[in-house]
Structure formats: C-alpha cells, structure tokens
Chains A and B, each alone.
Chain A
Amino acid sequence: MNNFSELHLDALTEVFSIGAGRAALSLSEIVGDEVRISVPSVQIINSEDINSTTLSLNCGRFGAVSQHFSGPLNAEAVLLFTEEQALKIVSDMMGSQMSTDELAEFEHEAMCELGNIILNACLSAMADILNFTLESSLPNYTVASADEILHRLKKNTDQSYILILHIDLAIEKRHTAGNLVFLLSSASLTNLIIHIDQFLGSIHE
C-alpha cells in the first residue's frame, strides 16, 4: 500500500469512471431513459480500518450484490445500497408504479442484474485499460444489516486491503449513492499496482 501513489489512484479512478460510464450506457439501454453513474472517489484502506463510517453505512438494512473474481486479481466485489434505495432503484428501473410489496419480489433479481452490470462494466474497463482479464462468478444478492456486512467484510483475513468506490447513480431525476467495495489480498494489490505501472509507463513512451 505504501507504493500506491496519487497517480495510481488517479489512474484507477479514471478506469472506474469509464466503467461507470459503460454501466450507465447499458442501463440506459435497458430502462430506456437517461442514466448517469459516476465515481466521485476511490480509496484504498487496510481491511482492519473498515468501519461503518468509511462505507457510510449508518443504520438500517442494506442490499449487497457480490461477485467473486479470479485471475491476476483475486477479489470479492460487493456493491452496497441501503435496502430502501435498492427498492427505489428497482422501481425506477422498472419504470412502474408498483407497490413496495410487489417490487420486493423483483428486488432480488433486479438488484443482481444492476450489480452485475456495474461490476462487469468496471471489470471490462480494467481489462481494456490495464490489460488483464478476470474470471467471475455469477452475482449474488443478500439483504443484511450494516453490522452483518462489516463482519463479513472483515472476517476474510487473507484479503487485507479494501478498495472502496463511492458511486452516484441517477436514473431519471433520482440520485442514489452507494458503495462498491473490492476485497483484495496483498498479492492482488501488488498485481494491480504492476498493471497500473505498466499502463502509466505506456503513456510516457
């Protein structure tokens, strides 16, 4: 983590912004409306330092879409929204005036798809820009409390770093904020830095 410079972070932010842009494009094709997704900030922290503030998890229940990645990076990626936000997103995506009860039955699948779109877009941007490809599991959606989520993120001790992307999602006129969290082993972080260095090196050529 010591050799992770401002420039590395800037490169990653750019990679994920491009990923977010692609995700917005695919989502807008599905919902037939304007969608904007931006990544205002990226940070890397030690997994011991993770707490509810770093993830802006206050209270209540959260919807978490997770996918496992393997390849040059072994990572678990988790996209987090509050359950209330998740339902609003699903409602906006479906563009209907359903009751909350009715939406709840679609929440699971629709959130899986939303997470899948955002995660895959970020990974495809990484693949294109940083020049590596990852394999991935299918997405999984769970609803859990902030404590349960933190516990799950912390318990995996061999993944000692956490890459956090703050995500702003706007469908039609509604803004939603969420977090995308990558749990990385130190070997994976080192690999990530190597790939970013290679990419930065190519700019100076």
Chain B
Amino acid sequence: MPVDSSIKKLLIVDDSKVSRMLIRTHILAQHPKWVISEAVCGEDAIALVDKDPPDYCTMDINMPGISGTHAAEQILSKYPSIKMVIFSANIQETHQNRARALGTILVAKPVTEKSIALTLDYFANSK
C-alpha cells in the first residue's frame, strides 16, 4: 500500500466506544499522523461534517437515532468527495447493494486488521 504522506482527516461514526477505539487504534497504527474525530450517532456526524468536512469516514449502521445508512446518504449528498466505508456485521445483499448505491462499500464487522486494511485500501485507491 502506498504510504500516504499527507495528513488526512477521518471521522469515525459508531455508538460503541469500544468499536471507535478499535478503529482508531488500528488506523493510527498505520497512519499515526491522521487527525481523527468521533461521533456517537448519525445526527452528531452530520453536524460535525458540516463544521469540518473530513477526507474519510467510517459509518456504523445500527445506532440510536437515524441509521448509519441514512446519515451516510445525507452526508454524501452534500459532500460527495468524502470517501466513506460502512461497517456492519450484517452484510446481506440488500445492504451491500444499498451501500454501493450510495457510493460507499460495506465492510464486515468485527473491526480487525483485515477489515481496516480493506477500508484503507478503499480510501487510498477508489475514485
């Protein structure tokens, strides 16, 4: 993977603190200089993006309040340049199709080195 020299901004959206910690830890292990912010629900994420749009975003689906899919839709319609990955353990076809239609990809939870590698690869290489 080409090492990203520029500093990127990443927003992690997940209601689980443990999940956010996992994503943060794994990503910082690869890109120690990235600036990472966190949101605990879709509504917060939308507000945060409006204040300071990130380069990348990881989005959980099942959260209190609006669903991750819904939040992703709103964010991407306003900021199409943000690259987003949706994390879910539920990777049934309808969800994959929905993610694809939004212009994102669905990555299977749990958060592991493998899923983070997929995520980073998508951030670096997708157009």
A residues apposed to B, CB below 8 Å:
7, 10-11, 13-14, 17-22, 24-25, 28-29, 34-38, 40, 125, 128-129, 200, 203-205
Contact = CB atoms under 8 A, between A and B. Distances in A.
A interface secondary structure, majority: helix
Interface of B: 16-19, 21-22, 25, 62, 64, 88-94, 109-110
A168 to B, nearest CB: 9
15 contacts: A7-B17, A14-B16, A14-B19, A14-B110, A17-B109, A21-B89, A21-B91, A22-B90, A25-B89, A25-B91, A28-B93, A38-B62, A128-B110, A129-B110, A203-B18
A35 B93 CA distance: 11
Contact of A17 (B22, B62, B91, B92): B62
Contacts of B64: 40
Nearest to A200: B18
A2 to B, nearest CB: 20
A24 B88 CA distance: 11
A125 B62 CA distance: 16
A38 B64 CA distance: 11
Contacts of B109: 17-18, 21
Given A38-B62, A203-B21, A13 B16 contact: yes
B15 to A, nearest CB: 9
A28 B17 contact: no
B25 A10 contact: no
A112 to B, nearest CB: 22
B69 to A, nearest CB: 11
A7 to B, nearest CB: 7
Contacts of B89: 17-22, 24-25, 125
